[in-house]
Each structure stands twice: as C-alpha cells, then as structure tokens.
Amino acid sequence: MSLIFKTPAEVRSFTQELHGKRLALVPTMGALHDGHLALMREGAKHADVVAATIFVNPTQFGPNEDLSKYPRDLDGDVAKCKSAGVLFVYAPDADTVYPKGFETYVNVENVAKRLEGEKRPGHFRGVATVVTKLLALFRPHVALFGEKDYQQLQVIKALARDLELGVEIVGIPTVREADGLAMSSRNAYLKGDERQRALALSKGLHAAQTANEVDAEKLKALIRAELQAADVREDYVEIVDADTLEPLSEVAGRSARALVAGFVGTTRLIDNVAL
C-alpha cells in the first residue's frame, strides 16, 4: 500500500532507508488522470522505487486563476498512485511547503519568459521554486514530467542543469484521449459542447504537424483556422525552437515545436506537438 507523508522529515527518513536503490519522482498537483499514471509507470522502468507528490502549488497560480476551484481528490489520487506502482506519496499542506518567513524563490530566465511566462506572470517562478524544493528534498535519480506542459518541462530541465541538482529529467509524450484531446486535469471544467470544441487545439496542431510546409506563419494559420471554426479564443499560437523556445520564421533543418493556448468557454487549455 502506498504510504502518505505530510512532512519533509518523514520523506527524508524514508529516502535514507532506500540504501542506494534508484528513486524516481513524479511531481503532480493531483486530480490524476492516465497521463500522470503513465509517468509513474515509466518511472518504474528507470528506478527501483517510484514516489509521487500531490500538491496544488499556490505560488504558480495568478490572482485571477483557478486555485480555489482546482480539482482535489486525495484519496482517489492515492489509490491511482498505488495502482501505478508508486510506493509512497508526499502530500504536504501549503504551510509546510511555504512556512512563515519563506523568502527564497527560483527564477529561470530565457526559456520561461515567453508563452506561458508572458501570459501568466509569476507562474514559472512558482513552478521552478516548488520543483527545486522537491528535488532537493527527495534527491531522486530521475524525475518525470509530461510533454503536454512542454515549456514547463524545458524550465525544469534548465533549473536541474544550472543548479547541478544531479537528477535526470525525463519528458514523457503527451497522453491523449481516443479523439486526440490532450489529457488534462482542467478538462473536467468543460461543459456541454465545450468538450467537442476543445478538440480544435489538437486538430489544429495535427494539421500543422502533417502539412508539407516550413513557413511558420502558414503553419500558425492552419492552427488558428481550427480554433476559429470551433469558437475557441486564442491566447497564443507559436512555432518555436524545441530547445530554446525562441520563435521561428521557418522550421526547416531544425527541431521545432508548435504550441497553442486557448479558452474554451472560461477554461484555458494548452497543447503542443513536435514539428
């Protein structure tokens, strides 16, 4: 049965007893779906023990975002972790992660400044800070994150590299529903016809991915056409270098990524594909 820890002292005591076994860590905010479970199962391929964290991190939410209504189901999530082979779960309270007097934050500069970083000021400072804390606490050999949050993955790779944390960061391809929608905890917010309209994100990305086209503006136009047809309000559509996230004018001869964010009703969704 998965063990549930609430304090850093409990985690340290347990990890010290692993006696050299390889540890994989899967940080999450809960509301787990098959995409999260895929990370946990992949973790078992890289390590002897898999641990997960469930923590809705307040510092990565803006003042007008959905912190208060973000879905929470700790008992259900722990059961899912157990089914995916997780040995123990760290589920701290916010006051434990950010105690009174907390004043140290982590900023990743270039790779975090555009896209989500521009649309959600302070978001990546919160992400980078909590992930750094978790990596420092667990000292895992490998940590796994989904490519669905592609910019987040690049931010975490940068902080692990630059701070010499000694952990391998592994990105796992986006897990999708049968109709192509990227799995996301926020999909639970979709109401009525919004679930069908949300497919515009993956349809637009697929159109760009399969087009015989290298011009970035033409690729973005393919994505935007799908958003507009489904009445999805664009937040951004970008074609970027897959490593630096710098905007590209064309995709020939280099690794590129198409990223999209849009509002389906009041629900903001993101998605991306390799080009």
- Tens of pLDDT, residue by residue over 49-67, are 999 999 999 999 998 898 9
- Between CA 168 and CA 43, with CA 149 as vertex, the angle to 5 degrees is 40
CA distance 94 to 77: 18
Is residue 36 annotated as a catalytic residue, yes or no? yes
Q: Looking at the domain assignment, is residue 162 inside a domain? A: yes
In the DSSP assignment, the letter for residue 219 is H
Q: Which residues of 83-112 are buried (b: 16+ CB within 10 A; e: fewer)?
A: ebebbbbbbbeeeebbeeeeeeebebeebb
Residue type, 258: A
Range of the domain at 201: 185-274
Looking at 116, 151, 172, the residue that finishes a domain is: 172
**Does 150 lie in the same domain as 66?**
yes
- Tens of pLDDT, residue by residue over 223-275, are 999 999 999 999 999 999 999 999 999 998 889 999 999 999 999 999 999 99
Q: Which residues contact 103 (CB under 8 A, 6 or more apart)?
A: none
Looking at the structure of the chain, the number of domains it has is: 2
- In the block, which residue shows the tokens 């594909």? 273
- pLDDT for the residue 124: 98
- Tens of pLDDT, residue by residue over 66-95, are 899 999 999 999 999 999 999 999 999 999
Strands 233-241 and 256-264, bridge-based pairing: antiparallel
**Does 38 lie in the same domain as 157?**
yes
Tokens of 82: 């157990």
Strands 168-172 and 233-241, bridge-based pairing: unpaired
**Does 69 lie in the same domain as 157?**
yes
Examine the pLDDT at 1 and tell me if it is beyond 60: no
**Does 157 lie in the same domain as 82?**
yes
- pLDDT for the residue 86: 98
Examine the pLDDT at 194 and tell me if it is beyond 80: yes
Selecting among 33, 36, 46, 206, the annotated active-site residue is 36
Looking at 116, 149, 172, the residue that finishes a domain is: 172
**Does 269 lie in the same domain as 211?**
yes
CATH code for the domain of 115: 3.40.50.620
Angstrom distances, CA of residue 19 to CA of 16, 24, 158: 7, 14, 29
Among candidate residues 188, 190, 184, the one with its CA nearest the CA of residue 263: 190
**Does 26 lie in the same domain as 131?**
yes
CA distance 219 to 99: 46
**Does 8 lie in the same domain as 139?**
yes
CA distance 203 to 197: 10
- In the block, which residue shows the tokens 């391929």? 45
Q: Are 209 and 223 in contact (CB under 8 A)?
A: no
Write the burial class of residue 161 (CB in 10 Å: 0-12 exposed, 13-18 middle, 19+ buried). Answer: exposed
Specify the pTM: 0.96
- pLDDT for the residue 78: 97
Instruction: With both helix axes pointing from N to C terminus, report the angle between 74-83 and 34-46 in degrees, rounded to the nearest 10.
Output: 40
pLDDT band with cut points at 50, 70 and 90 for residue 208: very high
CA distance 169 to 245: 18
